Amino acid sequence: LRFNVVSLFPEIFSGFVSNGLIKRALDKSLISINFYNPRNFTKDKHRRVDDSPYGGGAGMVLRIEPLYNVIQHIKEVDPCTRVVYLSAAGKQLTQNLVNDYSQSDCSYTLVAGRYEGVDQRFIDLCVDEELAFGASILMGGEVPAMAFIEAVSRYVPDVLGNSESLVIETFLQDDPELGEYPQYTKPRSFLKIDVPDVLLSGNHQEIEIWRKVNRRKINR
């Protein structure tokens, strides 16, 4: 799966691409991520990408020209791409959506806003979809873009060491109120709290029943 990331602060992603399963997926070419900085697509001699809002109000707004130009450029090199603007006003990213997104043959171009957001004409002209991550306002779209890449990449074959991890998970249960079962590892006892005996029994049928009955309730 291919991702293009449009961000004024691509350095934020340096730790993201050089650690853990994302690094492994990149090294094995299971996914690719290309970064584009709108600052490199402005004709302004000061490379200015933002300006004050028409009508007044707090903060600065990202100007349309650099964003429009960067999308045009990406579409020239990668014509089959879906432009996603990470936005608090977008559709909430759910696990079912993540699963659908992972099936795409086209790339995703993830646009991270900053300041007070982007000129509305950019959304109207260039954006296929607006996606929100959680129900709170962040400082920029970079963290949601990373979350999107992680969540979707988990469904790309061979990205996870164990594909069974995708089968029984929170958000994919028959009951939407329930999450995954409680997990334990060594030591068997900690501060006098013991791992449930059944998990040490070796009886897979009983373990399965215990896990089904003891699924964690999702806190909302």
Residues in contact with ligand SAM by CB under 6 A are 86-89, 112-114, 116-117, 132-134, 136-141, 144
- Beta partners for residue 110, in sequence order: 5, 84
Residue 202 C-beta: closest distance to ligand SAM, Å: 45
Min separation Cβ 25 and ligand SAM, Å: 23
Residue-wise over 148-159: b if at least 16 C-beta within 10 A, else e? bbbbbbbbeeeb
DSSP tag of 103? T
CB closest to ligand SAM, residue no: 113
Taking the complex as a whole, the smallest distance from the CB of residue 125 to ligand SAM amounts, in Å, to 16
Residue 57 C-beta: closest distance to ligand SAM, Å:
10
Q: 50 or 215: whose CB is closer to ligand SAM?
A: 50
Least Cα distance to 61 among 50, 70, 69, 49 occurs for 50
Contact 212, 204 (CB under 8 A): no
Closer CB to ligand SAM, 33 or 127, in the complex: 127
Find the shortest distance in angstroms from Cβ 214 to ligand SAM.
32
Q: Between residues 37 and 181, which has the closer beta carbon with respect to ligand SAM?
A: 37
- Contacting residues for 98 by C-beta, under 8 A, at least 6 apart: 151, 152, 154, 155
Q: Which two tokens stand for residue 186?
A: 């060594």
Q: Which is nearer to ligand SAM, 97 or 195 (CB)?
A: 97
| Phi, psi torsion values for 18, nearest 5 degrees | -115, 20
Chain centre to alpha carbon of residue 19? 16
Q: Please state the separation of Cα 176 from the chain's center in Å.
A: 21
Taking CA atoms, 106 is separated from 19, 72, 132, 176, 180, in Å, by 25, 16, 21, 30, 32
C-beta closer to ligand SAM: residue 65 or 180: 65
Of 37 and 215, the one with the shorter C-beta distance to ligand SAM is 37
For residue 136, the minimal CB distance to ligand SAM (Å) is 6
